[in-house]
Structure 1
């Protein structure tokens, strides 16, 4: 069993550093997407569409690289990813298998489709001509074709099925924590803090299994993202990536704000908050 004192701290720092580099990269990709969308001169701007596709593949590559680094850093320390100390409490309350639910990607597509349609209707009623999305006329997420919607719906169902399978696996692992030899040792030990080889081996096995599930969940996230982008047009995918990155970064900031507000609040005996 490895010493989990100082080395464990160093690994957690490496995991947090990896996460921060990932967040910084997401911030950098936003202006790149906006710049290409702004350069798009018409709905049939093939050259800009090609550049958008190249950037979108880079973004998917970023995600794959990040997932690979997480797998490397999760060995025997995977539990850090299931409730990261570098996340805000709000983010950890919404976390699934060390990250977001892949099915949430579809909710974002549907939300953007609806919100952009509402904008277009509002502008039409106000007699505002020449509606332009971030990428030009007629190719926003509100213009998903029937074929695109059908493909997205089929993929959505498949992804939910995969999520349910993984959720059952993690539930089984959580139940194993109360199994032999951990339960018997906990019952028999007078001083739980003392080293115990059987418990250490059982917990190491637990962490390894959780690391495997983390890798499986990340693979599903990457695969789902890749397939959604294949269904969308270059501009629709760019709109989707912009929204997804803004949402991820915003959730972190909103969580930090709420966390600061929570620490500043004093709760009296009656349960009322006071500043």
Structure 2
């Protein structure tokens, strides 16, 4: 049984690392196309960007499908993945990021890019023409950058944001209910009546198997909500805006993992140093 569980976890971790590797690959592809689009502002390059964003959404959907298949064999691994850093697990929601965080990323990018453009205008540096017009240095023409979201786009994004937050709250309540069930009958009764704490029990195993299955279903729903939210956001954005947004999201995901890894390494080093200091004091 332990060997089987270990194999499942290895398969889940392998799936995760393949996903991270693919994200790194897509980042380079998006960067290359955006550079080309800024040099050749035509429909052909917009078409290429649409095709690439379609592939990226397909990647995400495929990954969600693989996770759903693996989760049915052991879903609890996804709620506190051993392959994640402590930082990532502290921020995790339903086995991943909150779909509403996609909107916060858009707002952050929109604000930061606008601030940069205003600064460029005031300083009269690159991006400022004699006519007093600021060049689109982010997206590539025609108000395509995220700092140029139209009022209609912002309105659609806001409506979608409110809807997704409502969906998140519904799912969070379902998870809370399942967590409360862990201390419910028959588990609580069996634990109380046991002579030896934590001894194997068929009733408890069946109850936990049922809970694992329910958690796997919620994970699949959460992943579907993430995929659906991303797809609807991309529909609202222009090809260049969508590419900029997806690029930022992937870079943030990979960066969070690297930052978390660095923090975990520093924590381990501090623990080793503390143990060394303690050992030295004891010898003295």
**TM-score, scaled relative to structure 2:** 0.91
Q: 1-side partners of 2:38 and 2:269: how far apart?
A: 50
Match of 1:78 among 75, 78, 94: 75
Residues 140 and 43 of structure 1: is their aligned pair in 2 closer, same or farther, counting only changes over 3 Å? farther
Structure 1 residue aligned with 2:188: 183
Does residue 253 (structure 1) correspond to residue 258 (structure 2)? The answer is yes
1:76 deviates by 3.9
Provide the secondary structure at the position in 2 that maps to 1:85. Answer: coil
Structure 2 residue aligned with 1:15: 12
Of Structure 1 and Structure 2, which has the larger fraction of its residues in helix? 2
Residues 245 and 126 of structure 1: is their aligned pair in 2 closer, same or farther, counting only changes over 3 Å? same
| Cα contact 1:33–1:242 (8 A) shared by 2 | yes
Provide the secondary structure at the position in 2 that maps to 1:265. Answer: helix
* Cα deviation digits, residues 87-145 of structure 1 (max 9, x gap): 00000000000000000000000000000001100100111225343431331000000
Structure 1 residue aligned with 2:171: 166
| Cα contact 2:139–2:145 (8 A) shared by 1 | yes
Give runs of aligned pairs for residues 218-229 of structure 1, distance below 5 A: 218-229=223-234
Structure 1 residue aligned with 2:85: 88
Gaps of 5+ in 1: 269-275
1:41 deviates by 4.7
**TM-score, scaled relative to structure 1:** 0.94
Q: 1-side partners of 2:29 and 2:138: how far apart?
A: 13
Q: 2-side partners of 1:90 and 1:41: how far apart?
A: 36
Match of 1:213 among 195, 201, 218: 218
Does residue 109 (structure 1) correspond to residue 106 (structure 2)? The answer is yes
My pick for the range that moved more, 125-134 or 253-262, is: 125-134
Provide the secondary structure at the position in 2 that maps to 1:6. Answer: helix
| Cα contact 2:191–2:198 (8 A) shared by 1 | no
Q: 2-side partners of 1:76 and 1:41: how far apart?
A: 47
Tell me the number of residue pairs that the alignment of Structure 1 and Structure 2 aligns.
Answer: 266
1:193 deviates by 3.8
Q: 2-side partners of 1:100 and 1:262: how far apart?
A: 24
RMSD: 1.5
Name segments (4+ residues, structure 1) moved above 4 Å: 41-44
